[in-house]
């Protein structure tokens, strides 16, 4: 293994966030830990408006408990915690919105075509490049003002990616699609800015963005997909439902899927990903 030095400077990233978008979030960079999401969840009450980045994770976690490989090879393992009174139903839209905002900023910065495989996997060149995991922790409060700690984790293959043999999935790294050298700090700042941007939106604005811009990013739209929970055979993906589910035309009916495996052709796609 050719370990790459962890190049993220917390103070510099914090200053850049403040200067570029007026964000006062705390930023912490750690060489190695279990999982950025796990650490912020454990300290959720004290972690409001905090970013945590790691050079390596020993127990990175993807969606539905899957393993997110996190070697010290120049990739992004990042989580952000914030407190909110937004309902859990509305929070379910955030992984989609985060994926959309991150894809927009990465494409704008590096001129690469980024697609999103529902609900929140980032694809470049037909291969998975990153993923997002959103978790919540209930905080104290009465029924009318229940506060929730939201932890969003983002994992992006920047400099390297796992082999097909190790995870049985086609993956890629951003650097493979960009001619000029890119730094981990550069990608981290893009992702952090995208996350803050989404957190500042009202739920109505999130819904409007998804309605307008998701179709162009949708890797599955109008293509045959296999959804085991619906039964044997293929359906046709028909985009997002209003509450963020995947609509699938299956055996003459339009079904809405909220969890489970979705496979498109050669894409092995247990939904997943993140720090």
pLDDT at 66 exceeding the cut of 90: no
Mean pLDDT value across residues 114-131: 95
pLDDT confidence band for 265 (50 / 70 / 90)? low
Question: Looking at residue 142, what is its pLDDT?
Answer: 61
Q: What is the mean pLDDT of the chain?
A: 88
pLDDT at 174 exceeding the cut of 60: yes
Q: What are phi and psi of 16, to 5 degrees?
A: -65, -40
Q: Which of 12-21, 73-82, 202-211 has the lowest mean pLDDT?
A: 73-82
Q: What are phi and psi of 272, to 5 degrees?
A: 175, 170
Question: Looking at residue 261, what is its pLDDT?
Answer: 84
CA dist 265 and 77 (Å) reads: 28
Question: Looking at residue 198, what is its pLDDT?
Answer: 98
pLDDT at 168 exceeding the cut of 50: yes
pLDDT confidence band for 5 (50 / 70 / 90)? low
Residues 52 and 28: beta-carbon distance below 8 Å = yes
Question: Cis (ω within 30 of 0) for the bond into 119?
Answer: yes
Mean pLDDT value across residues 49-60: 88
Mean pLDDT value across residues 164-185: 85
Rounded alpha-carbon distances, angstroms, from residue 270 to 160, 201, 222: 20, 29, 19
Mean pLDDT value across residues 184-212: 97
What percent of the chain shows pLDDT beyond 90?
A: 76
Query: pTM score, two decimals?
Result: 0.88
Q: Helix, strand or coil for residue 7?
A: coil
SS (H, E, C) 33-100: ECCHHHHHHHCHHHCCCEEEEECCECCCECHHHCECCCCCCCCEEEEEEEEECCCHHHHCCHHHHHHH
Question: Looking at residue 1, what is its pLDDT?
Answer: 45
What percent of the chain shows pLDDT beyond 70?
A: 85
**How confident is the model over 136-167, as pLDDT tens digits?**
999 976 666 789 999 999 999 999 887 655 55
Question: Looking at residue 185, what is its pLDDT?
Answer: 95
Q: How many CB atoms lie within 10 A of CB 173?
A: 22
**How confident is the model over 27-46, as pLDDT tens digits?**
999 999 989 999 999 999 99
SS3 content of the chain, % helix, strand, coil (to 5): 35, 30, 40
Question: Looking at residue 161, what is its pLDDT?
Answer: 86
Question: Looking at residue 188, what is its pLDDT?
Answer: 97
pLDDT at 275 exceeding the cut of 60: no
Instruction: Pick the more confident residue, 7 or 160.
Output: 160
Mean pLDDT value across residues 243-254: 96
Beta bridge partners of 92: none
pLDDT at 234 exceeding the cut of 80: yes
């Amino acid at each position: 293994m050719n370990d790459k030095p962890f190049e993220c400077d917390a103070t510099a990233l914090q200053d850049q966030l403040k200067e570029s978008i007026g964000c006062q979030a705390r930023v912490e960079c750690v060489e190695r830990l279990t999982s950025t999401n796990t650490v912020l969840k454990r300290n959720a009450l004290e972690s409001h408006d905090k970013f945590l980045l790691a050079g390596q994770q020993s127990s990175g976690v993807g969606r539905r408990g899957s393993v997110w490989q996190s070697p010290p090879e120049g990739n992004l393992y990042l989580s952000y915690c914030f407190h909110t009174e937004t309902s859990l139903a509305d929070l379910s839209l955030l992984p989609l919105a985060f994926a959309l905002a991150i894809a927009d900023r990465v494409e704008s910065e590096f001129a690469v075509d980024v697609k999103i495989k529902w609900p929140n996997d980032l694809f470049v060149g037909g291969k998975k490049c990153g993923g997002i995991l959103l978790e919540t922790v209930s905080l104290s409060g009465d029924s009318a003002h229940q506060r929730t700690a939201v932890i969003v984790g983002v994992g992006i293959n920047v400099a390297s990616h796992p082999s097909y043999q190790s995870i049985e999935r086609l993956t890629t790294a951003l650097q493979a699609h960009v001619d000029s050298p890119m730094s981990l700090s550069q990608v981290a700042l893009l992702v952090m800015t995208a996350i803050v941007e989404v957190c500042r939106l009202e739920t109505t604005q999130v819904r409007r963005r998804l309605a307008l811009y998701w179709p162009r990013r949708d890797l599955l739209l109008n293509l045959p997909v296999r959804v085991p929970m619906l039964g044997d055979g293929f359906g046709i993906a028909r985009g997002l439902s209003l509450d963020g589910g995947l609509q699938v035309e299956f055996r003459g009916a339009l079904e809405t899927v909220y969890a489970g495996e979705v496979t498109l052709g050669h894409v092995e796609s247990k939904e997943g990903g993140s720090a």
